[in-house]
Amino acid sequence: MNYETILCEIEDGIGTITLNRPKVLNAINDELLKEMSEALDIFAENQNVKVVILTGGDKVFAAGADIVFMSEASSLEAESFVRLCHETIDKITNLDKPVIAAIAGLALGGGCELTLSCDIRIAAEGTNIGLPEINLGLYPGGGGTQRLTRLVGTGWAKQLLMTGKPIDAKSALNIGLVTKVVPAQELMKEAKGLALELARKSTIAMRLMKSCIDYGENVDLPSGCLFEQKVWALLLSTDDAHEGMKAFLEKRKPDFRGR
Ligand code: HXC
């Protein structure tokens, strides 16, 4: 898995994608999206990958979409780029494994939008997160107007989107944009620890639960609850559910096999 703009590794059941364009603060271009998309396909197929971490490492997550490219792009190039953004971001949302964003330094614009598609976001102290597109005469085109609003509510979404001012990690924690803030040097340790914890759970229960949460976000409550009921009934007959309940009754740790 050799790429130009990302690093990609699989270790201990965890697939990690690290954005890797340090000279431009991991600005997101066409190539980076294509490489990320390919890595996500590999992680989706590989049964040994139980959890995915998306990160920029311990310095900077990403300063947004590549402004050099955008400033020169024709409408057709813009259309192709924004489609690729959405396709890649949708791949993260639709991956049937948990995806953790480990965010350090900056997550701006498209960088922030990438994290919004992840299941859990943790940030290093000192990180600034925001959507400054309005200051470029733009607005976020990678799902930011939609996903941010669903995550933190209309009030905070409009505050962030309309002012374009990033907020620090502690404020992000207060509004639910991230769920944990840790010292910068502990970010990757924290992300890997969480990933290992999730990797030990039943992959099938995790997958079906993720689909219930994500499906439910886009439908009315009765439809979401009906979906949950049907999928839950299916889940109850799996080996993992039998093993989990048997292990509880036998007072031992469960040995989940993902079946
Ligand atoms: C291209 C970028 C970049 C970007 C930084 N760089 N952000 N290049 N696209 N988004 C480059 C700089 O030009 C510079 O290159 C190098 O990275 C270091 O950046 P500096 O500005 O020198 O660093 P610093 O002074 O620390 O300021 C950091 C910063 C600033 C505050 C993050 O770079 C900044 O404001 N960047 C733009 C942030 C932004 O507006 N993001 C939203 C983009 S729009 P050189 O060659 O000079 O060393 C977007 C839309 C998504 O994301 C839509 C998706 C469809």
For residue range 70-108, list pLDDT tens digits in order. Answer: 999 999 999 999 999 999 999 999 999 999 999 999 999
- The pLDDT tens digits for 110-157 are 999 999 999 999 999 999 999 999 999 999 999 999 999 999 999 999
Pocket-testing residue among 59, 67, 112, 115, ligand 1, by greatest number of atoms within 8 A of Cβ: 67
Are the C-beta atoms of residues 229 and 211 closer than 8 Å to each other? no
User: Backbone dihedral region of 140: left (phi > 0), alpha (psi from -120 to 50 degrees) or beta?
Assistant: beta
Domains and CATH numbers, the chain: 6-199 (3.90.226.10), 203-249 (1.10.12)
Q: pTM, whole model, 2 decimals? A: 0.97
Q: Using a 6 Å cutoff on CB, does residue 140 contact ligand 1? A: yes
Using CA atoms, how far residue 65 sits from 40, 68, 104, 127, in Å, is 19, 9, 17, 18
Radius of gyration over alpha carbons of the chain, in Å?
19
- pLDDT value for 2: 87
Catalytic position from the list 79, 87, 125, 133? 133
Distance 250 CA to ligand 1 centre (A): 56
The pLDDT value given to residue 1: 76
Centre of ligand 1 from the C-alpha of residue 30, in Å? 16
State the pLDDT at residue 72.
97
Q: Is the CB of 32 under 6 A from ligand 1?
A: no
The pLDDT tens digits of the residues spanning 33-73 come to 999 999 999 999 999 999 999 999 999 999 999 999 999 99
**Tokens encoding 226:** 């009906």
Task: State how far the alpha carbon of 45 is from the alpha carbons of 39, 50, 210, in Å.
Answer: 10, 11, 17
pLDDT of residue 108: 98
Q: Note if 38 is an active site residue.
A: no
CB-CB neighbours of 250 under 10 Å = 9
Give the side-chain half-sphere CA count within 13 A for 1. Answer: 19
Residue 25 in contact with ligand 1 by CB distance below 6 A: yes
Annotated active-site residue 4? The verdict is no
Q: Which amino acid is at 98?
A: P
